[in-house]
């Protein structure tokens, strides 16, 4: 599964490819699209056409493309999803699940195993998973005191707790394992057993 650094690279690529660009062609696969108040995949794709991408944001492992007209497209890469840039006349890719074309290039979303998510939203709406995310380990940093207070209430292992996106958004398996190794904390220890000093060491290790 893509970890926070890979998702951040994807965000920067999407920003470079699409920010301030008007979308002239939009296709969204209903197989990945989460139907909500924004309508079906086809309806939301039609609403996106002619809109300009104002910003590309990341929180945890989620991406958010903000468009004018108070529209937003949310994307989670799942295990095998990725966004790529292609020429307009390039044929459809195998496993292509979405297409966002500006006047200059075609941006495609590929996902062989269909574990990713695409969701449309209007106004301030957002998928429940986005709203439930905790502080972003890269953007917000890790507050040791807040982290320790959360861990005190968790009986699961500290490794499982670090992978809980409602506690720290964006931390994946590799980053969690490396942070625990640097902080010299066994991954199977109960999260609630960590002392304040261990929580401080872990917070620093996550940010390192």
Tell me the per-residue pLDDT of 77-86, one tens digit each, with 9 for 90 and over.
999 999 999 9
2: confidence class by pLDDT, cuts 50, 70, 90: confident
- pTM metric for this prediction: 0.92
Rounded Cα–Cα distance for residues 84 and 94 (Å): 12
The three-class DSSP label of residue 174 is helix
Average pLDDT value for residue range 100-109: 97
187 is catalytic: no
Q: Do 132 and 166 form a contact (C-beta atoms < 8 A)?
A: yes
User: Within 10 A of 87 (CB to CB), how many other CB atoms are there?
Assistant: 9
**Residue 119 φ/ψ, nearest 5 degrees:** -145, 135
Q: What is the pLDDT of residues 135-169, one digit of tens each?
A: 998 889 999 999 999 999 999 999 999 999 999 99
In this prediction, residues 172-190 reach a mean pLDDT of: 96
| Token pair listed for 33 | 């699209």
Residue 132 has pLDDT above 80, yes or no: yes
Which pLDDT value is given to residue 48?
A: 98
Assess whether pLDDT exceeds 90 at residue 122. Answer: yes
pLDDT score recorded for residue 36: 75
The pLDDT-based confidence of 182 (bands split at 50, 70, 90) is very high
Report d(CA 39, CA 33) in Å as an integer: 10
Q: Name the catalytic one among 3, 66, 93, 160.
A: 3
First to last CA, the chain: 21
Nearest to 167 by CA among 130, 145, 136, 188: 136
Lowest mean pLDDT among 12-16, 38-42, 43-47, 155-159: 38-42
Q: Give the CA distances from residue 150 to residues 30, 79, 142, 156, 188, in Å, rounded to whole numbers and listed in that order.
A: 37, 27, 12, 12, 17
- Give yes or no for a contact between 19 and 102, defined as CB atoms under 8 angstroms apart: no
pLDDT at 49: 98
Residue pair 76/63 in contact (Cβ under 8 Å)? The answer is yes
- Please say if the pLDDT value at position 1 is more than 70: no
Among the listed residues 2, 127, 135, 198, the single catalytic one is 2
What tokens were used for 83? Answer: 């966004």
Q: How far apart are CA 156 and CA 151, in angstroms?
A: 9
Asked if pLDDT for residue 193 goes beyond 90, the answer is yes
DSSP of 103-137, one letter per residue?
Answer: SS-EEEEE-TT---EEEEEETT---HHHHT---BT
Selected residue with higher pLDDT from 137 and 51: 51
Known active-site residue 178: no
Average pLDDT over residues 34-59: 94
């Amino acid at each position: 599964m893509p970890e926070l650094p890979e998702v951040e690279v994807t965000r920067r690529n999407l920003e470079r490819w699409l920010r301030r660009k008007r979308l002239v062609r939009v296709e969204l696969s209903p197989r990945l699209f989460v139907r909500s108040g924004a309508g079906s995949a086809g309806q939301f794709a039609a609403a996106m056409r002619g809109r300009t991408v104002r910003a590309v944001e990341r929180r945890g492992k989620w991406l958010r493309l903000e468009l004018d007209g108070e529209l937003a497209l949310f994307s989670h890469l799942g295990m095998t999803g990725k966004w790529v840039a292609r020429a307009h006349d390039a044929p459809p890719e195998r496993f292509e699940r979405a297409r966002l074309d500006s006047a200059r290039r075609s941006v495609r979303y590929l996902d062989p195993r269909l574990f990713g998510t695409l969701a449309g939203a209007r106004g301030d709406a957002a998928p429940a998973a986005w709203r439930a995310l905790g502080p972003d380990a890269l953007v917000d940093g890790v507050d040791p005191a807040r982290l320790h207070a959360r861990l005190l209430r968790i009986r699961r292992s500290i490794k499982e707790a670090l992978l809980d996106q409602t506690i720290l958004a964006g931390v994946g398996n590799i980053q969690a394992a490396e942070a625990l190794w640097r902080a010299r904390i066994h991954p199977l220890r109960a999260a609630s057993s960590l002392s304040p000093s261990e929580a401080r060491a872990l917070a620093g290790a996550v940010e390192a």
